[in-house]
Amino acid sequence: MKILRKFLLKNGRQIGVIIAAFLVTGLMMNSSLIEYQANLLTGVKSDPFDGTVYPVKRVPSWVDLTSAEWKLPYDQIPQNKFIDLPAYVPSQLTIPMSSLNFSNAGDKAIRNAQVTFSTPYMGNYRLDGQEYAGSHLAVDIKIPSGTPIYAVANGIVIKAANQSSGFGQHVVLRHDDVPAAGNPSTKTTYFSGYAHLSSFSVSEGQKVTKGQLLGYSGNTGTATTPHLHFQIDNDQAPWHPYWPFTSKEASDAGLDFWSAINAGLGKDKALQTTINPMPYLQQHLTGTVTTYTAVPVTQSSASDTTPPATTAIVSPSTETETGIDQIPPATVQSDPVNLSGQPSVVISPAVPALADIEILHPASFKTGSPVLFKVLALDSQGAVINSYNPTEEWYIKLENGSGNLSTTYLGKTDFKNGVAEFSLTPTAEYGLRVSVTTGQLSKFSDILQPASFTDVAEQHENFVAINFLKNNEIIRGYPDGSFKPENPVSRVEALKFIYEGLNKEVKPTAVLEFADTDSKAWYARYIAAAQKEKVVQGYSGNLFKPANPVTRAEFVKMLVQAAGFNGGNYVPLKPNYNDVEKNAWYYGYIGLAKDKNLIDTSSNLFGPNEPMSRGEVAEILYKTILLQVSGGRSFDGGLVVSAEDLADYFRKV
């Protein structure tokens, strides 16, 4: 089932999932310097420069993959779900994904670019897509394991090495007498680096030509997910691939690896020894040059190196396979409707062009009872096109849940005054979502949930979370059919919520050491498991206070620890709440939960000592479960996972 990784979508950045980078030690640098110097003595020069190609030809259309396909290697993903490598346009990487949607093909292309270029040149790990906001001197390209990696230009292999950490398996090419960045009339020497490979097929001293296969992507070295770390060093770098600080320098500055990059440690050295690799490649791509108009976007940083409004870009050539529904590689998108680079079809003003789709439906359902869906054809102003007459079929697909559709497509006879209808009969109590697609437009419905508790209406702010937990048998409510979402949660109830929700193993019997607990009580196994895993520690005097309402800070700490996020020493990326003191024991836990969007970020106050209600507990637990099932790094309100993945998650123990 298709996963809408809208958490990729809010701050823009995967789906994911963020890619871990590498650590470089002084020893690694010294050995690299020796290899570099030795290779310079060979005297072999690369073939004359004749342009560039991308290091990766094809990448997945990430927003079209199912949850299972996100984890597959390159050769197991359906080929019709690949696209040519998107353009690297810095201004597009900073657009908040919350401002993008699925119905506009231009927005979809930007979403894919933001996932693909997970960390921009001289970026950081704050998920903001900003260039020059850190000291990451490469571009990280998110790709499945086993993706072919190619030489970007004619060159000589000066390094083909395998390291257990750092860059992992990596290749470095030297490119002689190539145009200098910013001054093409001047010739210079550059070094392209390709890191974290699963394997390489070249050897040191070998001459390679532009577009020659170098190896395959992986996640070797210090990396947590498959990606290509791609950088270009200049001849001022003392070794290759260059890195601007050592682990000792980071430690001396009181920083770990991640915070060192975020703080821009070694930024000056990085700028002196590297160039922005993707714009350089795009400037010299071989093929027929076509001009496209850039999308008007709001500049988010003075350091944003946005191409000019009209940019010479290479269109698809024989060197790049053509993808389905594909935009030209390295194309700065223009018209959000016409993405092919071909002349637009002129539509009579009397019949507005289809620009968007709206899907109307109830918020909940009862198993076995048909649910009516209405599909609206909208113009660019969001108005229904009363005279709409489709020129191609509209396809309907059940994306999540279980049920029977009345039809799988809509045609001319189905639309009346711009509106068409179909029904879905649910066959199980899973959240339902359908998609409607026609041409380049695709829309997903909101999630329909099974009917909820008697006191949790569809308009309740925690409706989706409470229903989700109910349908997965995490919560059961009270005998009268109510849930009582405003009631406070006790400390032992909180542990039961957490351990049931995260599907963690608890022993059937346990002996408790707290003076105010009963080893024969229903809560004994939850407290014992939590104490063993250091999820809880209790109070002074060897007390646990099981019946006390759990505070917001206590619950967040319990959940973060039980989920394995390890927030005790966490340094928040975002500013913490005004009422969360930096020296408070819960500072890191709350900061981590906020960075992961598990708790409300719309207010400057958190209320750490206030009691946690049942509705609030359901909300944060729901978000944590979806985050864990999807493998993402932060939560977004539209994140959806398939019923199959949820079933696997809840039967893992």
* Cα 616 from Cα 486, distance rounded (Å): 8
Q: What percent of the chain has pLDDT over 90?
A: 43
The mean pLDDT value for 390-415 works out to 88
CA atoms within 13 A on the CB side of 613: 12
Whether 322 and 84 have beta carbons less than 8 Å apart is answered as: yes
- Model pLDDT, residue 189: 96
- Model pLDDT, residue 256: 75
The mean pLDDT value for 111-133 works out to 88
Q: Which domains does the chain have, with CATH numbers?
A: 6-314 (2.70.70.10), 356-450 (2.60.40.10)
Whether 121 and 138 have beta carbons less than 8 Å apart is answered as: yes
Local structure of 535: helix, strand or coil: coil
Q: How does pLDDT run across 555-599, given as a tens digit for each residue?
A: 999 999 999 887 677 888 888 899 999 999 999 999 999 999 999
- Model pLDDT, residue 98: 65
Q: How many helices (H) and strands (E) does the chain have?
A: 15, 24
Phi-psi region of 359 (alpha: psi -120 to 50; beta: other; left: phi over 0): beta
Q: Is the pLDDT of residue 328 over 80?
A: no
Q: What percent of the chain has pLDDT over 70?
A: 81
Whether 497 and 474 have beta carbons less than 8 Å apart is answered as: yes
Which range has the worst mean pLDDT, 140-154, 333-347, 460-474?
A: 333-347
pLDDT band at 96 (very low <50, low <70, confident <90, very high): confident
C-alpha pair distances (Å), 611 with each of 14, 64, 252, 464? 34, 41, 41, 22
- Model pLDDT, residue 183: 87
Residue 386, strand partner residues: none
Q: Which residues of 116-148 are buried (b: 16+ CB within 10 A; e: fewer)?
A: bbbbbbbbbbbbbbbbbbbbbbbbbbbbbbbbb
Q: Is the pLDDT of residue 19 over 70?
A: no
Which range has the worst mean pLDDT, 333-337, 538-542, 564-568?
A: 333-337
The mean pLDDT value for 377-388 works out to 89
DSSP 582-601: TTSTTHHHHHHHHHTT-S--
Specify the higher pLDDT residue, 452 or 614.
614
- Model pLDDT, residue 138: 96
Where are the extended beta strands (E) located within 220-349?
227-234, 274-275, 289-293, 310-314
In 213-358, where does DSSP find H-type helix?
A: 247-252, 257-263, 267-273, 277-284
pLDDT band at 447 (very low <50, low <70, confident <90, very high): confident
Specify the higher pLDDT residue, 131 or 632.
131
Specify the higher pLDDT residue, 55 or 71.
55
Mind spelling out the 3-state secondary structure of 550-581? CEHHHHHHHHHHHCCCCCCCCCCCCCCCCCCC
Amino acid identity of 155? Answer: G
Which range has the worst mean pLDDT, 78-82, 474-478, 604-608?
A: 474-478
Whole-prediction pTM value?
0.45
pLDDT band at 652 (very low <50, low <70, confident <90, very high): low
- Model pLDDT, residue 182: 84
Q: Is the pLDDT of residue 431 over 80?
A: no
pLDDT band at 428 (very low <50, low <70, confident <90, very high): confident
Q: At what angle do helices 491-501 and 524-532 cross, to 10 degrees?
A: 70
The mean pLDDT value for 529-540 works out to 89
* Cα 435 from Cα 442, distance rounded (Å): 7
Q: How does pLDDT run across 165-221, given as a tens digit for each residue?
A: 788 999 999 999 999 998 888 999 999 999 999 999 999 999 999 999 999 999 888
Which range has the worst mean pLDDT, 59-73, 241-255, 338-352, 412-426?
A: 338-352
Average pLDDT, the chain: 79
* Cα 182 from Cα 190, distance rounded (Å): 14
DSSP 452-517: --TT--TTSTTHHHHHHHHHTTS----TTS---TTSB-BHHHHHHHHHHHTT----S------TT-
* Cα 560 from Cα 544, distance rounded (Å): 19
- Model pLDDT, residue 610: 95
Q: How does pLDDT run across 483-519, given as a tens digit for each residue?
A: 999 999 999 999 999 999 998 888 876 788 899 999 9
Q: Token pair of 429, please?
A: 């109590």
* Cα 592 from Cα 547, distance rounded (Å): 27
- Model pLDDT, residue 102: 64
pLDDT band at 409 (very low <50, low <70, confident <90, very high): confident
Element containing residue 377 per DSSP (H, E): strand 371-378
Which range has the worst mean pLDDT, 102-116, 340-354, 586-600?
A: 340-354
Q: How does pLDDT run across 218-271, given as a tens digit for each residue?
A: 988 877 789 999 999 999 999 999 999 988 888 888 887 778 888 899 999 999
Q: Is the pLDDT of residue 111 over 50?
A: yes
Q: How does pLDDT run across 543-560, given as a tens digit for each residue?
A: 999 999 999 999 999 999
Element containing residue 425 per DSSP (H, E): strand 419-426
Burial (Cβ within 10 Å: 0-12, 13-18, ≥19) of residue 379: middle
The mean pLDDT value for 284-313 works out to 36
- Model pLDDT, residue 7: 34
Q: At what angle do helices 643-650 and 614-630 cross, to 10 degrees?
A: 100
Tell me whether the omega of the peptide bond preceding residue 241 falls within 30 degrees of 0, making it cis. Answer: yes
